[in-house]
Amino acid sequence: MKTKKLVQLSLLTAIALSIFIVELQIPNPLPLPRIKLGLANIVTLYVIYRYRAKEALLVLMARIILGSVFSSNLMAIMYSLAGGICCFVVMSVLHDKIEEKYIFIVSILGACAHNIGQIIIAIFITKTLAIMMYLPWLLLSAMITGLFIGLCTQYLLKSRAILIQK
């Protein structure tokens, strides 16, 4: 990997990590626990579209691991990895199949995959399928937040004000 690309990806990782840490400080206004906007996924989706899936995976893994360390919540790493990898796989596959102008669809489906991955981990940890009752609410929130993340990423991809140019 060339130095310029390494620096760019490092900056994008730092941005994603900063967004993640800030988002942890935002109180959840919903009665359902653990629902977040997932704003750091703007960076992941941006990297998938501006670079390649390989680079996006590196940024995602670094953000998840460092985010778990910095938030002092190492138990959350299992949920983050499961959700992040499921989301990444879906978005990477769809990236090649769906035009950039429909990036919000890629984001919505990635957000849904993220929540399904986390539910699967929760089922393994709790050893109960009752946790599946939470899935419809998670998928509804994924559609809303995924749309928002997709539209934000679409704006960034079109914007000429991006600090990190390829």
pTM as predicted:
0.90
Domain spans in the chain, listed from the N-terminal domain onward? 3-158
- The predicted-structure confidence for 12-70, as pLDDT tens digits, reads as follows 999 999 999 999 888 877 666 677 889 999 999 999 999 999 999 999 999 999 998 88
pLDDT higher at 165 or 148: 148
CATH tag for 3-158 (out of 3.40.50.150, 1.10.800.10, 1.20.120.1630, 1.10.1760.20): 1.10.1760.20
Write down the pLDDT at residue 139. Answer: 95
Give DSSP secondary structure letters for 10-60.
HHHHHHHHHHHHHHHTSPP-SSSTT----TTHHHHHHHHHHS-HHHHHHHH
